[in-house]
Amino acid sequence: MTETSSRNTQGGSDTRESRITRRGLILGLLLVPLNVYWVLAAELRWYVVLTLNPLFVTPVFYLFALTSLNAALRRWMPRLAFTRGDLVIIYVMLVMSCTVATHDFIINLMSTLGWASWYATPENRWEELMFPHLPKWLFVWDREVMEGAFYGGSRSLTDPEVLRAWLAPLAFWSVFILSIGWVMLCLSVIVRRAWMDETKLSFPIVRLPLELTQADAPGSIIRSRALWTGFLLAAGLCLLNGLHVWYPNLPHLQVRARYFQFPTPPWSAAPVWIAWYPFGIGLAYLVPLDVSFSCWFFYLFYRAQSVAGYVAGYGNIPDFPFIHEQGMGAWFAFGISLVVLYRRYLIRILRAAMGFEKVDDSGEPMSYRLAVWGLLGGMVVFGGFWLMAGMSLIWVVVILLIYLLLSLSITRVRAEAGGQHNAWDLEPMNLMRLFDSHVLGPTNLALAAASHWYWRLNRSHPMPSQFEAFKLAQENGMKLSSLIVPMLAAFAIATFVGMWACLDIFYRDGISRCYGFAVWTGIEAYGWLSTALDPGFTAEPTRWAVVGGAAGFTGLLAALRARFPWFPFHPLGYCMASEMRWLWFPFFVAWALKWAVLHGGGLKLYRKTLPFFLGLVLGDYTAGAVWSLIGVIFQVPVHQIFH
């Protein structure tokens, strides 16, 4: 880290560089809507994904551009240069906007609001099976309005009939979305000190933004030759592969995922994806060695179960080897272990909020009293929303608590390991599969499907990004309280602009011309609901056994690591690995390289090589962002760096 890293870990310093100026705030507010539309147009219309990794592409691109501009300003017009506080707050606001404007959040919601009404036919009997159990005030039911959205061009977004059909459901969903942002922010404040100041987790994802915000510091690795070597290598490769999209006769080097399957059984039961993403290798190089090893090892462990099951005659059993159930047990056990491990700390914070104990919270983003009571208030809104929709009280409580548990878990994963967290195993559709659908009732099932959009994969979950924002600000000596209002403002603006941007794309180009999650989320949610309602499903002891076995296995891994520090298998790897199909091989490559570096040259050689791998990320992201901009502006297919 640079010299700034050793600054006060609580309240931050009050230097000029750490302050946020009015100019920085205004620029951040202006860039948020532009960023939202850019991301949604790229991902929704052209399926050029920019937000499906823990480090989002466009905020890094903006930060890199501002850092480059700032270098010139500091030299020629120093009075106009941005402070480090400005760079941090602009980056953080853009990151917050990307937690909303993404495939895993607002696109999922917008593409499913009219799905049931549009795709209902006499043959699938959806009108009979589903419609009575879906709240009328949360969805769009006018088929003529949906026809304009599906085909595009025939209706205007400003048509009063179109506005009336969308306005009410979007208003209700906006309240729910804002409650999520607020609840996650309060929860981040509550656990911040324990994970950031006391445990001192590594926060690998913060490393590149931190170096960019501190590019003016003496000895910054941004000036290193190794970083620019990695940058040019990744950017040049992205340029070459991008030109190949337009001119197929040009040579290229395939780095995106390729599907590979052995032709003969039993190995054919376990197909894999092989990828060489430069940014993926660069990010994985930052991950602790034991975690990166565990991620690719347990991914192959899951694949090996399919092979072993085929040999044993279980290949025809639906859902074998029950990956969701294994993930359910793993994430649940990991989350519970966090609560148990930090129970005394959490009790202290609760007592402080109630006035029973004195705890210094002067350096926190907000007081513990506000954080705790704010969390409870947000939980009431969250739970009340689903109660109003018709979900039973017991399921509202279960889903709310599990959402909080999962949020803690994936935030801890990001703070400790920085790796990909595709976590949707604990979502209601999977949880309810453990029970008898006829006992659960059709309304609970329908609302489980209706909630699928915000549970799906959680790759852009707001809490890890909020937590990392506090770390980035802390390392730059900023007052953490200065982040609260800009973060909330960016989240709210992104919600409203994101909804408008999706509708603008729908009614201009049509959902039928969009790709990716604009289709998949609806198929998953309503396909599941159709089956759950007719013929339904029953509780299966096998699924319960797998959940329990996975939870026990996760606990065993944690216990062995606590007793034997040399034990190589990290429970985080088991949690993360089930959905690492795209990134397991980059993790393997980065692990092998890092192992060779550490064993061949020790920590000194690792520090020398680190800038090269940061350069891979920066170069791949910069070139990928430029290609996506070309696609959005000129409405043409372009190369994408992921998937």
Which residue type occupies 390?
G
- Compute the distance between CA of residue 401 and CA of residue 418 in angstroms, rounded to an integer: 24
pLDDT tens-place string over residues 387-405: 999 999 999 999 999 999 9
pLDDT in tens, 567-584: 999 999 999 988 888 999
Q: What is the distance between the alpha carbons of residues 223 and 206, in angstroms, rounded to a whole number?
A: 18
Q: What angle do CA 238, 242, 247 make, to 5 degrees?
A: 145
For residue 209, what is the DSSP state?
A: H
- Indicate the average pLDDT of the chain: 93
Asked if 181 contacts 462 with a C-beta cutoff of 8 angstroms, the reply is yes
Q: Which residue has the higher pLDDT, 590 or 52?
A: 590
Asked if residue 420 has pLDDT above 90, the reply is: no
Residue 118 pLDDT more than 90? yes
Inter-residue contact 418 to 53 (CB < 8 Å) = no
Give the separation between CA 146 and CA 14, rounded to whole angstroms.
53
Task: Kindly state the average pLDDT of the residues 261-284.
Answer: 94
User: For the chain, what percent of residues have pLDDT higher than 90?
Assistant: 86
pLDDT of residue 373: 97
Q: Which pTM value belongs to this model?
A: 0.95
Q: What is the mean pLDDT of residues 121-132?
A: 96
**pLDDT value of position 153:** 87
Radius of gyration of the chain (CA): 24
Please report, rounded to a whole number, the percentage of residues in the chain having pLDDT higher than 70. Answer: 97
87-118 burial, b for 16+ CB within 10 Å, e for fewer? bbbbbbbbbbbbbbbbbbbbbbbbbbbbbbbb
pLDDT of residue 13: 54
Token pair listed for 340: 């148990």
Q: Are 95 and 473 in contact (CB under 8 A)?
A: no
Q: Give Cα 197 distance to the centre of its chain.
A: 24
Q: Are 130 and 141 within 8 A, CB to CB?
A: no
Residue range 191-218: average pLDDT?
92
User: Does the structure show a pLDDT above 70 at 63?
Assistant: yes
**pLDDT in the model for residue 565:** 85
As a whole number, mean pLDDT of residues 61-77 equals: 95
Q: Is the pLDDT of residue 95 over 50?
A: yes
Q: What is the dihedral of CA 516, 518, 520, 524, to 10 degrees?
A: 160
* Average pLDDT estimate for 8-13: 49
DSSP for 462-497, please give it.
HHHHHHHHHHHHHHTT--GGGGHHHHHHHHHHHHHH
Rounded to whole angstroms, the Cα distance separating 552 from 548 reads: 6
Model confidence pLDDT, tens digit, residues 325-344: 999 999 999 999 999 999 99
pLDDT single digits (tens) 20-45: 999 999 999 999 999 999 999 999 99
CA 142 vs CA 16, 113, 149, 390: distances in Å: 55, 11, 11, 22
CA angle (183, 188, 190) in 5-degree steps: 95
pLDDT for the residue numbered 416: 86
pLDDT single digits (tens) 234-271: 999 999 999 999 999 998 999 999 999 999 999 999 99
pLDDT in tens, 487-496: 999 999 999 9
Mean pLDDT of 313-333: 93
β-bridge pairing 272-274 and 258-260: antiparallel
Q: What is the pLDDT of residue 578?
A: 85
The SS3 assignment for 272 reads: strand
pLDDT band at 531 (very low <50, low <70, confident <90, very high): very high
